[in-house]
Structure 1
Amino acid sequence: MPAKPTEPDTIELSTEELQEITGFAAECARRVLSIFERSLPDDSRPRDAVEAAQAFADGGRRTQALRTCGWAAYKAAGEVTGEAAGGVAGDVPGRAAAADAARAASHAAAAAYLHPKASAHQVKHILGAAAHAARAEELVSGEGQGQEATGQTLEWARHHAPPAVTAVLGRLPAAPPGGGRVGELIRDLDTALRA
């Protein structure tokens, strides 16, 4: 029996594509920063992550400071929901929305570190900021209007995705299963962008 052809282990990924993808992720996260800042107005970690991502997208270098900002925004997400010491009190949907807004910012910074691996996991690095932004808007919109807000956010992302996003997605396997609601949103956006 003949051997099956194997998928390549790596994909092509230029610096320019990486910058476009990171700029797109930063813009997706920027749309929901206010959701986080309403919960923790004195916490600049998500905004710092978005600004660091945008600086890379605008031609800056990938530095340790960019990576540190991404991790700090991720930590802020855990703190706002009380997953770590120092979580804030308040309504659970609002805190969950704020956490997803912070995760969107974290994903924006992490997009600069997309690997040229032919792995479905890399789709999360490209579309994670958009999916977490959509989830934040869904949660803050509440019952009945959440799905509409999510649809609008994903539609915005689909129309504003630069050519590099669709080009690189085309080199990768489809988004992986799992990941709860955010995973579902990543798969929805992935499918729409590949169409």
Structure 2
Amino acid sequence: MTLDSGDHAALALWAAACAERVLPLFARDRPDDGRPAAAVAAARAWARGELTMPEAREAAFAAHDAARETNDAAAYAARSAGHAAATAHVAGHARHAANYAVKAVQVDSSEGSDERAWQEAQVPGRLIRVVFPDRGLSERGR
């Protein structure tokens, strides 16, 4: 599927929302490290046209650096944020932001199915095949 700039921005916003939900798992472990939160903000700023792709990509690299400095749920949360920002560079990173968010929740609570359901409910219907190719069309009637 070829994405137009609006769809690409929508994916970045969705990826940012997925990552933002697990940021508290990173903050709990590293409360003074704002790199993952900055990456989520960068994804949103890029989607609004307020940040360039290279700037968003730098924020993604910083969040991934933060992930390497911690473990478990915190690391997955930081990776989710990094992939959200990296969506500005390549739209396919949105899928990784969602997957890492689910991993963060699973590691933290041994659950995650509710997180995936929330993600599926939030993604714009026209883009569900982009981020969940194995799901096909949603039963939500989108």
State TM-score, norm by structure 2.
0.88
Gaps of 5+ in 2: none
Q: Does 1:60 align with 2:11?
A: no
Structure 2: distance between partners of 1:97 and 1:62: 29
The SS at the match of 1:192 is: coil
The answer to whether the Cα contact below 8 Å between 1:22 and 1:57 also exists between their aligned partners in 2 is yes
Aligned residues: 138
Q: Does 1:104 align with 2:80?
A: yes
Q: CA deviation at 1:41?
A: 0.4
Q: CA deviation at 1:164?
A: 4.7
State TM-score, norm by structure 1.
0.65
Q: What percent identity do the matched residue pairs reach?
A: 35
User: RMSD of the alignment, in Å?
Assistant: 1.8
Q: Does 1:129 align with 2:119?
A: no
Structure 2: distance between partners of 1:192 and 1:80: 32
Structure 1 pair 152/190, CA: closer, same or farther in 2 (3 Å)? farther
Gaps of 5+ in 1: 1-10, 82-95, 116-121, 170-185
Off by >6 Å, runs of 4+ in structure 1: none
Q: Deviations along 1:106-126, whole A, 9 cap, x unmatched?
A: 0100111126xxxxxx4xx23
Structure 1: distance between partners of 2:119 and 2:112: 11
- Equivalent residue letter for 1:34: P
Structure 2: distance between partners of 1:39 and 1:193: 36
Q: CA deviation at 1:193?
A: 5.0
